[in-house]
Amino acid sequence: PVHRVILAACSDYFRCMFTSGMKECGQPSVSLPSLSAPELETLIKCSYSGALALSWSCVFETTSTALQLQHLPALRLGLDFMRREMNPLSCLDVASFAEAYALAELLDASHDYVLRQFQKVASTSKFKDLPAEQLLRYLSSHSLCVPSELAVFKAVVAWIQRMPKKRRKLAKELMKTIHFPLMTYKEFREVQAVEMWSDPGLQELYKTIFEDFCGSDAAPQIQYRTYLPKESLVVIGGEQTFEDLGSRRISRELWFANSIRHHTGIKKATEWRRLAEMPDQGRFCHQVAVLKGQLYVFGGKKYYGTNDTLNSVYRYDPLQHRWQNLAPMQEKRCSFSAVVLDGRIYVIGGHSDPDNIESVERYCPLANTWSFTSPLDLPLSAHAASVLHGQVFVSGGLSDHFRCLASTFLYQPQTGSAYLADMVQPRAQHCMEVLGEHLYVAGGVTTDHSAAPFDLLACEMYHPMADCWTAIASLPVPHVGAGSAVLEGKFYMLGGYSQEDYSNTPMVHRYDPAAQSWEN
């Protein structure tokens, strides 16, 4: 037995059945021959509890039934499960399901997953059953994320060899999507070793591919593979030292990374495009934060004097291409950190001429107001802060005596600081980001016994469960005072300078935790 009102509240199908004068309105029992008993029992339980026990073995049947009955709570839970739990083995099934039921958002999410995780998806048996048209769409997409052209080639060969007699006639069209000139000689030797080329019908195609690889006059469109990330890197303001080291320029410009270009071998380049200009003067040693798709810019310095520190705040809406001047911070500050926590923005410590400061301020976007929260234990500048599992972690920085610190602590707005294990090396003017379950720090400077700062290339990773730091691969060049971000599971370091000679570092490096290495 089940309450009609419960079913009617959850399902458009039952609401129509029980409230529209249909004959079922007065029947003590209703027959539903198109549904199995377990499926209906699952939806009835969901109607009462609002929960579903889902797994990949049942989610498609359950969601299909929810669609048939327009049972919105179960439908929402089923679709959420597919998006959240999608993996290389299930993503193509999700795409097929979404296409069959015209679920546009789920279909986009599944295609996006395939393109981002292409190498892993291509190793599954289901990939080899893809229709040729769909495979070509994936291979031709600018959202295809692959470590090298060899990964694309191996995927194509595996797909052809599933049904070689039928699919080898498509080899020429599929091979056109592979940029062979971008391969290294070692990678191309793997291409040459493929058994498929022994087929007389493919020898002419191999000759064309070999000439393509050896040719030095590659067409512009195949000199690199363009990858358009779903998210964007944006750089804001900062300062630039000219090559003669005799002059500097303070910027008010915003630039974004429009695409990443994969050139020969491991060589990559970022295509930068100008986005906008800040409405006020340029600034450096400032902070930025992103909240609900809006870009916030805080404080910093407008010049190199003792009274040039700012407390002004601006918000940029990239969709409307519009700036808004917000309430200023209560204290002027530069060389501080900013984090987003529970819909609020916290600015932590920093330098306010002539000293470092320990104050922390919280910004409420709805009220456009600032309020002080618990201060730090000591004045601190040039540190880094990130949020992991709803907690604010702060690392390193400069003490009031301008010595680099190795300390790490949790900052709690109500109670202040709780100290954790020290980093392996003291550092300041560094970057810290969250990847998975760990914190990563990179770049910056450290100090010796004489308190003289020098470039620090060593990088570290923090394990919150074990409360310990371990070394990871070092940076190849200095990144002091750099910007940083996490994009698609990789830690990006952007720009900065070298403490040794004050020269710019006009480079982007990214750390891949899977490969445990930095890419230029």
100 lies in a domain? no
Owning domain of residue 335: 232-374
Which residue, 486, 498, 421, is CA-closest to 457?
A: 498
User: What pLDDT does residue 468 have?
Assistant: 97
125 lies in a domain? no
Q: Give dist(CA 138, CA 116) in Å, integer.
A: 10
Q: Residue 205: which CATH number? A: 1.25.40.420
Residue 167 near residue 132, CB atoms below 8 Å:
yes
121 lies in a domain? no
111 lies in a domain? no
Residue 322 near residue 332, CB atoms below 8 Å:
no
User: What pLDDT does residue 460 have?
Assistant: 98
- Whether 182 and 288 share a structural domain: no
| pLDDT tens readout for residues 275-319 | 999 998 899 999 999 999 999 999 999 998 888 999 999 999 998
- Whether 319 and 247 share a structural domain: yes
Q: Residue 51: which CATH number? A: 3.30.710.10
Rounded to 5°, angle at Cα 96 from 94 and 54: 30
- Whether 8 and 52 share a structural domain: yes
Q: Give dist(CA 190, CA 444) in Å, integer.
A: 41
State which of 226, 250, 279 marks the end of a domain. Answer: 226
Compute the Cα dihedral for 100, 102, 106, 109 and give only its sign: positive
Domain tally for the chain?
4
Q: Give dist(CA 190, CA 178) in Å, integer.
A: 14
pTM of the model: 0.74
327 lies in a domain? yes
Residue 15 near residue 22, CB atoms below 8 Å:
no
User: What pLDDT does residue 160 have?
Assistant: 96
Listed as ranges, residues in the chain with pLDDT below 50 are: none
State which of 374, 392, 424 marks the end of a domain. Answer: 374
- Whether 242 and 361 share a structural domain: yes
- Whether 198 and 168 share a structural domain: yes
285 lies in a domain? yes
Residue ranges with strand state E in 408-515: 408-412, 416-419, 431-435, 438-442, 445-447, 453-455, 459-463, 468-472, 483-487, 490-494, 508-512
61 lies in a domain? yes
Q: Residue 478: which CATH number? A: 2.120.10.80
Q: Give dist(CA 64, CA 85) in Å, integer.
A: 17
| pLDDT tens readout for residues 134-150 | 999 999 998 898 888 99
- Whether 164 and 187 share a structural domain: yes
**Eight-class DSSP state of 201:** G
Residue 235, H or E segment: strand 234-236
State which of 202, 226, 250 marks the end of a domain. Answer: 226
Residues in the chain: 520
User: What pLDDT does residue 220 have?
Assistant: 54
